[in-house]
């Protein structure tokens, strides 16, 4: 990438990041009234191509979540995906990247009452490994509980809800863990601080259901699809007790940022053998191959960034 400032989409224009500013009175800054999304883009060196992963699915989820706060971004999911690809091209990225759309209430005033004013921005930045996990990570259950849907919907990726994740992450790190595991108010396992969780027991892949106050993860969905189609595993969505974490054969996190991250210890106890398990290892490799465009059956998940433009120039 050239030594130049990143450009972003802000207030209906593509401008340098340093010019994208909001007032310190902005409603979303004071009250957390924003909705964000995260989208990975992977660089494939041999073809000099970048792939956005399930970009339109991410934007459909983002637009749906925005409705929780009665925010209505005007662009379609397809238009938003195209805009994100254009930002990657304008920034000349030739490395893995991460897109962060953010819709927010933008009134510059004091007062909780919404007034219908909102805006959105899209930023794309170079982005590598978020949670180093090649040999597995040590996770721990934290004392904070997952926010309840009736109070602050976890499925919504609402900015203010992520204070819950910040507190959980801080506690986990203070205890020497790489990542936290949060229980819901019923005492069931919800998810990691910023990611979904799976366990393997008796050959079955088990993950909490949306009703246990989880984010309905797109990477989670990808992994469930790969597990069923490629490994012919039984995938079960059900509540998970805390004690099941200690007797699981394998465990791992999934998420746009963390990808597929093996868990080899929980609360100072080894998971299974204490090594990265076969199912986890295989799913991690399948996911990596799929998002880099190396499995034909999952090319529909990917949006090429550079090739469509090159092809149009050749015509």
Catalytically active residues are: 157
Report the residue count for the chain. Answer: 315
Whether residue 8 contacts residue 122, with contact meaning beta carbons closer than 8 Å, is answered with: yes
The CA distance from 22 to 66, in Å, is 20
Q: Which residue do the tokens 């593509």 mark? A: 14
Distance, CA of 281 to chain centre: 20
Q: What is the 3-state secondary structure (H, E, C) of 22-41?
A: CCCCEHHHHHCCEEECCEEE
Residue 79 is encoded by which pair of tokens? 């238009």
* Parallel, antiparallel or unpaired: strands 204-207 and 235-237: parallel
Contacts by 24-31 with C-beta closer than 8 Å and gap 24+?
25/108, 25/109, 25/110, 26/104, 26/105, 26/106, 26/107, 26/108, 27/104, 27/105, 27/106, 27/107, 27/108, 27/109, 27/114, 27/117, 28/104, 28/105, 28/106, 28/159, 30/110, 31/105, 31/112, 31/160
């Amino acid at each position: 990438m050239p030594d130049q400032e990143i450009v972003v989409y802000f207030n209906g224009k593509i401008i340098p990041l340093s010019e994208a500013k909001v007032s310190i009175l902005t409603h979303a800054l004071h009250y957390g009234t924003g909705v964000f999304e995260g989208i990975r883009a992977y660089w494939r060196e041999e073809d000099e191509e970048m792939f956005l992963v399930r970009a339109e699915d991410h934007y459909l989820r983002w637009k749906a979540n925005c409705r929780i706060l009665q925010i209505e971004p005007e662009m379609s999911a397809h238009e938003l995906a195209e805009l994100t690809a254009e930002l990657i091209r304008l920034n000349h990225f030739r490395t893995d990247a991460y897109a962060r759309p953010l819709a927010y209430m933008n009134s510059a005033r004091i007062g909780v009452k919404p007034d219908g004013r909102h805006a959105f921005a899209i930023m794309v930045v170079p982005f590598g490994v978020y949670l180093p996990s090649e040999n597995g990570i040590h996770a721990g259950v934290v004392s904070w509980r997952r926010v309840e849907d009736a109070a602050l919907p976890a499925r919504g990726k609402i900015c203010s809800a992520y204070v819950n994740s910040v507190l959980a992450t801080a506690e986990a790190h203070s205890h020497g863990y790489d990542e936290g595991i949060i229980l819901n108010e019923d005492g069931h396992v919800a998810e990691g601080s910023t990611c979904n969780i799976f366990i393997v027991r008796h050959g079955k892949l088990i993950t909490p259901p949306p009703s246990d106050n989880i984010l309905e993860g797109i990477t989670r969905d990808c992994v469930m699809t790969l597990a069923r189609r490629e490994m012919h595993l039984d995938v079960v969505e059900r509540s998970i007790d805390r004690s099941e974490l200690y007797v699981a054969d394998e465990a791992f996190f999934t998420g746009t940022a963390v990808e597929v991250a093996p868990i080899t210890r929980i609360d100072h106890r080894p998971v299974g053998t204490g090594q990265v398990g076969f199912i986890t290892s295989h799913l991690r490799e399948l996911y990596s191959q799929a998002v880099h465009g190396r499995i034909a059956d999952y090319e529909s998940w990917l949006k090429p960034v550079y090739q469509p433009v090159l092809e149009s120039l050749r015509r």
